[in-house]
Structure 1
Amino acid sequence: MSSDAPLLNAVEGFLRYLKVERQLSPLTQINYQRQLTACIVLLEEMKLPDWRQLDAARVRSLAARSRRAGLKPASLALRLSALRSFLDWLVAQGVIKANPAKGVATPRAPRHLPKNIDVDDVNRLLEIDINDPLAVRDRAMLEIMYGAGLRLSELVGIDTGHLDLASGEVWVVGKGSKERRLPIGRTAVTWMEHWLALRELFAPEDDAVFLSKQGKRISTRNVQKRFAEWGVKQGISSHIHPHKLRHSFATHMLESSGDLRAVQELLGHANLSTTQIYTHLDFQHLASVYDAAHPRAKRGKS
């Protein structure tokens, strides 16, 4: 990079820090790069020569310009979050004395409750014919994803050494390279055993548990495609995707146990507030049952 691009040079240094020291996932690095590049474009339009001249007024102007360009609240919050993290790094590097984005309010995005599948539909989805080895693989993926509430990246990242089927556990690496061991349940263990007995048919190229037809680690896109196809084949009315199974795991666990902290640990959420959205989902269900069943809730029937 040339020395006449001080805004971009500093961001490149931050991205190297995220890759080498923080070891964030490639997708997270790309998201940071995308948001910070967009910030640079806007700040250059405002004639900002150097990060040391950035103040809260310019950050607010950046946010306003982003909104006028059509950025939605959730995306704007992501942009400001990336900018704050970068500016915190500049403070730590001694480039600036304080983070001017700290006092700029993040827009509140509307709360979208997770979509989940009811237990009957989950059971119907998982009743997959086992004559085809790929169908066995897919059922094993569905069982372990729903059985442990995995993220898609965690599912495809499982290696053979990450499984302890004797104790019914799987080891995964989640967001921020955080590791956790999770129970997967007897049914998932059974289907993992079925799949592992067939896995060698695909001439594995590495230790990946879930393979494509070519023997390589299965891609996230392939998993999404297969799950959607199984949803249609099994007659599920809603679109089936990996994150919906994770939501369903969380909702069903919370409905049965009521233990929010345990569900937080199982999902690998850093903050309890992230898990608390499922309490709103559960309350919505309870409220609908109340309205339908309680004599004092019925209206308009005088």
Structure 2
Amino acid sequence: MSTQQPPIERYLTHLQAERRVAARTLTLYTDALTRLAAGAAELHIELNALQSHHVRMLLARAHTGGLSPRSLALQLSAWRGFYRWWGLQGGVKLNPVEGVRAPKAAKPLPKALPVDQAVALANQSPEHTDPALAARDHAIVELLYGSGLRVGELVALDCQAGDAAAGWVDLADGSAQVRGKGSKWRSVPVGSAARDALQAWLAVRPGVASAGEAALFVSQRGTRLSTSQVRTRLKTLALQAGLPTSVHPHMLRHSFASHLLQSSGDLRAVQELLGHANISTTQVYTKLDFQHLAKVYDAAHPRAKRR
């Protein structure tokens, strides 16, 4: 490798010939290092004279220019690797990128169904060749949306309480006892719609479940239903209900929390029902609630229209 080549070109040659990085990686690193060279030129500073505050300045410019946190992190990784390699070559004494971090990416808000779509899914009569399995699917949707269970909590439910049970439903009391994350128990209410659906399923369950099977929800083979089977059935049910989006179990949990908060405004109660250890985990739903309020405002308030 010729030492007469500019250092960035030498580094890219090193990546290609010696490190044998993938073509896509090489393209991304080439773009990132081109940005570095252009930024240094704009600052009228040689690459071997860049310092950490210069790197932060270039990072801020790229962020202002619309580069996402993920892209910025990739860019910094390329710059850091280049200076680390160049230092081993004796080109620089210090790596100006060490200690510089990209801004954190904003956490995406959990996706919740609009109320009308959630109700349409819950009211959907599952199309199934086996009426018993259709009753099972209906009970699953009602319990996921009506009680905000995690899918793992749902499939762990047994028909009856017991020392070995990971959860059960008490229809007489209108509640479910579930063991969530960290093996912490909590009690959640089971609404009338879910109770009716569960009673319909329990009436036909003996004809589906294997002898001695404790699980509340079983597959057509008679054994405990798996989380992946619930996800598959839920996608199918959403299509049958005409929903425009793919639905997964956690989306119904998000819908439960968001719709409950919209109606009650009681964040602490929602936290307890979801089984969140920290209120900060639940506070994301206040953002969902504000989005709902903002839409109502934009649609109804005479001063909301932007010119």
State whether TM-score is above 0.5. Answer: yes
Corresponding residue for 1:136? Answer: 135
- Mapped contact 1:117–1:245 kept (Cα < 8 A): yes
1:289 Cα deviation after fit: 2.2
Corresponding residue for 1:275? Answer: 282
- Mapped contact 1:251–1:282 kept (Cα < 8 A): yes
Deviates more, 1:260-269 or 1:233-242: 233-242
Corresponding residue for 1:121? Answer: 117
Corresponding residue for 1:160? Answer: 159
Q: Does 1:207 align with 2:214?
A: yes
Amino acid across the alignment from 1:190: D
Q: Which blocks of at least 5 consecutive residues in structure 1 are unaligned? A: 1-66, 72-104
CA distance in 2: counterparts of 1:127 and 1:291, whole angstroms: 30
Corresponding residue for 1:192? Answer: 198
- Mapped contact 2:146–2:194 kept (Cα < 8 A): yes
Query: Which runs of structure 2 are paired with 1:1-302 in the superposition (5 Å)?
Result: 108-129=104-125, 132-161=131-160, 162-204=168-210, 205-300=212-307
1:206 Cα deviation after fit: 2.0
CA distance in 2: counterparts of 1:240 and 1:118, whole angstroms: 12
1:212 Cα deviation after fit: 0.5
SS at match of 2:146: helix
- Mapped contact 1:128–1:135 kept (Cα < 8 A): no
1:118 Cα deviation after fit: 1.7
CA distance in 2: counterparts of 1:210 and 1:122, whole angstroms: 21
CA distance in 1: counterparts of 2:259 and 2:290, whole angstroms: 13
CA distance in 2: counterparts of 1:286 and 1:203, whole angstroms: 45
CA distance in 2: counterparts of 1:174 and 1:291, whole angstroms: 39
1:203 Cα deviation after fit: 3.3
Amino acid across the alignment from 1:291: D
CA distance in 1: counterparts of 2:252 and 2:216, whole angstroms: 19
SS at match of 2:176: strand
- Mapped contact 1:160–1:207 kept (Cα < 8 A): yes
CA distance in 2: counterparts of 1:166 and 1:147, whole angstroms: 17
CA distance in 2: counterparts of 1:117 and 1:203, whole angstroms: 32
1:296 Cα deviation after fit: 2.5
1:111 Cα deviation after fit: 2.4
Deviates more, 1:113-122 or 1:242-251: 113-122
SS at match of 1:280: helix
SS at match of 1:182: strand
Residues 142 and 70 of structure 1: CA distance in aligned 2, closer, same or farther (over 3 Å): farther
CA distance in 1: counterparts of 2:300 and 2:187, whole angstroms: 41
1:151 Cα deviation after fit: 0.4
TM-score by length of 1: 0.63
- CA deviation string 1:231-277 (max 9, x = no partner): 00111111111011000000110001000000000000011011000
Deviates more, 1:150-159 or 1:204-213: 204-213
Q: What percentage of aligned pairs have identical amino acids?
A: 51
- CA deviation string 1:72-117 (max 9, x = no partner): xxxxxxxxxxxxxxxxxxxxxxxxxxxxxxxxx9973312111111
Amino acid across the alignment from 1:224: R
Amino acid across the alignment from 1:258: G
SS at match of 1:297: coil
1:70 Cα deviation after fit: 11
1:168 Cα deviation after fit: 0.5
Corresponding residue for 1:38? Answer: none
Residues 107 and 210 of structure 1: CA distance in aligned 2, closer, same or farther (over 3 Å): farther
Q: What is the CA RMSD across the aligned residues, in angstroms?
A: 2.4
Amino acid across the alignment from 2:134: A
CA distance in 2: counterparts of 1:168 and 1:228, whole angstroms: 28
1:195 Cα deviation after fit: 0.6
1:127 Cα deviation after fit: 2.5
CA distance in 2: counterparts of 1:262 and 1:107, whole angstroms: 33
Superposed structure 1 runs of 4+ greater than 6 Å apart:
none
Amino acid across the alignment from 1:257: S
